[in-house]
Amino acid sequence: MHLNNEFEPLIKTKIRTTPYHLNLLSDKERILAFHEAIKEKAKGTIYDIGAGCGILSILAAPHADFIYAVEIDHTVAKHAESNLKSFNNVLVINEDAKEFVFPEKADLIICEMLDTALIDEEQVPVINSIFKYLKKDGEIIPKKVLNGAEAIDMEREHICYEDNEANENPNYEVMSNFKIYSEIDFKNEIKENVEADLEFKISKKGSITGIKVTTFTLLTDNLICGPTPMLNPPLLIPTEKIKVDIGDIIKVKLIYKMGGGLDSIRTRIEKVSYRP
């Protein structure tokens, strides 16, 4: 995948941005994946929700009739206005997308406010509030997310994201199988409160002190994006400590609210079944 010849130098020299959004731009895997999805799906009237500094609107503008780029942060919205001023088919709106009354329905909603398991971003509350503005045959990028988990022995005693360099020096040890526990389709009604009953078969002798949650993003039917440094890095969640042996089965209840933040996360080990 390659960015078009006009966009690559724009990133390097002309984009007004914040340090956080500069980090997003530096994550090329994330940008390239969204670029491919937008090229495939962009048409007609588009909402770019949580537009940030306007990067995805820049990618979508050549394919759209009109784009409503909605950004709640005043400073970031000003950067977006500057970055998008050369496009006469983009309107930057500095408002809360959940409260804004759109004057027309969308052919496509782009909502990139992604976070692992959709916990620490308002993607689900926003999509739930604006879904009524999507045309019957309209589409949403991303299309779905898949959430999975595995039991781990982790060093830290608090919730944290996996370090970018964890593949080389992980601060945890995987102790079980990996299991997909939920699939979120953005075109169906989404319940924000999650209670997942997770069951793991232990593959190593030792201790379980947490779970690792990993999210995979289906941008379109044909394009899936795994975790990247700035797109859904795996989330390490501590549990009560429990000793285990190979073949043991443990059950963990995972509770959180999508859009409710990391403070909404609760875990409880409900049962341990030992090998016969």
pLDDT tens readout for residues 251-266: 999 999 999 999 999 9
pLDDT at 244 over 70: yes
Token look-up 């980090």 returns 23
* pLDDT, tens digit, 9 for 90 and up, residues 103-141: 999 999 999 888 999 999 999 999 999 999 999 999 999
What are the distances in angstroms from CA 40 to CA 60, 64, 143, 223, 264? 10, 12, 13, 10, 36
Q: State the span(s) of the chain assigned CATH 3.40.50.150.
A: 7-112
8 A C-beta contact, residue 70 and residue 97: yes
Kindly report the pTM of this predicted structure: 0.89
Helix axes 19-26, 28-41, angle to 10 degrees: 80
Would you say domain 144-273 falls under CATH 2.70.160.11? yes
Q: In this predicted model, which residue has the larger pLDDT, 28 or 232? A: 232
pLDDT bucket at 164, cuts 50 / 70 / 90? low
pLDDT-derived band at 250 (thresholds 50, 70, 90) equals very high
Q: State the number of CA atoms in the 13 A half-sphere of 50 facing the CB.
A: 16
Question: 24 near 228, Cβ under 8 Å?
Answer: no
User: Identity (one letter) of the amino acid at 214?
Assistant: T
Mean pLDDT of the chain: 90
pLDDT of 258 reads: 97
Asked if 58 and 10 count as a contact pair (C-beta separation under 8 A), the reply is: yes
Mean predicted confidence (pLDDT) in 42-61: 96
Q: Which helix (H) or strand (E) covers residue 26, if one does? A: helix 19-26
| Calpha distance 2→213 (Å, rounded) | 30
Provide the pLDDT for residue 171: 85
Residues of the chain with CATH 2.70.160.11: 144-273
Beta sheet of 249-257, edge-to-edge order:
193-201, 249-257, 266-273
Per-residue burial over 68-79, b = 16 or more CB atoms within 10 Å of its CB, e = otherwise: bbbbbeeebbeb
Q: Residue range 169-181: average pLDDT? A: 91
Dist. CA 213–CA 148, nearest whole Å: 6
Q: How far is CA 102 from the centre of its chain?
A: 24
pLDDT above 50: residue 1:
no
Asked if pLDDT for residue 6 goes beyond 50, the answer is no
Residue 231 DSSP one-character state? B
Would you say domain 7-112 falls under CATH 3.40.50.170?
Answer: no
Q: How far apart are CA 126 and CA 192, in angstroms?
A: 11
Q: What angle do CA 258, 264, 267 make, to 5 degrees?
A: 105
Q: Which helix (H) or strand (E) holds 218?
A: strand 206-220
